[in-house]
Amino acid sequence: MKPADDARGEQLTHGGECRRADRLVGTARALGHEVAWVLHAEPGTGSAFDPASGFVRLMDGLAADPGDVVVTKTSRNAFTTTNLAQHLQRPGRPIS
């Protein structure tokens, strides 16, 4: 079965999604915006979300820059089990 196409005619695949996300992140960085990455982990579950599986990482084709915020959440809410709120509220953070 052929993958579906999006509105621009690009195939909806992991590779296509990663290319679009990478373009979006590149544009945000070029405009001076901060980039935050949120990973999801379920330690000790033996699932794909268990960090021991090796899958709790950015997808191939995506990469965090040294100044990016990278947090790993262990609940549905990225603010309850991470320090993401502190990153977003820190003094001197550029406001977009």
Which CATH number goes with the domain that contains 35? 3.40.50.850
Does 42 map to a domain?
yes
| Residue (of 35, 27, 39, 22) closest to 73 by Cα position | 39
Domain count across the chain = 1
Does 19 map to a domain?
yes
Bridge partners of residue 66, in order along the sequence: none
Give residues with Cβ within 8 angstroms of 35, minimum separation 6.
25, 28, 29, 64, 65, 68, 69
Range of the domain at 24: 14-89
User: What local confidence, expressed as pLDDT, does residue 96 receive?
Assistant: 53
Does 95 map to a domain?
no
Question: pTM for this one?
Answer: 0.76
DSSP-derived secondary structure letter, 51: G
What is the full per-residue pLDDT of the chain (96 aa) written as tens digits? 344 444 555 544 566 788 899 999 999 999 998 899 999 999 999 999 999 999 999 988 899 999 899 999 999 999 999 999 998 888 776 555
Evaluate whether 12 touches 3 at the Cβ level (below 8 Å). yes
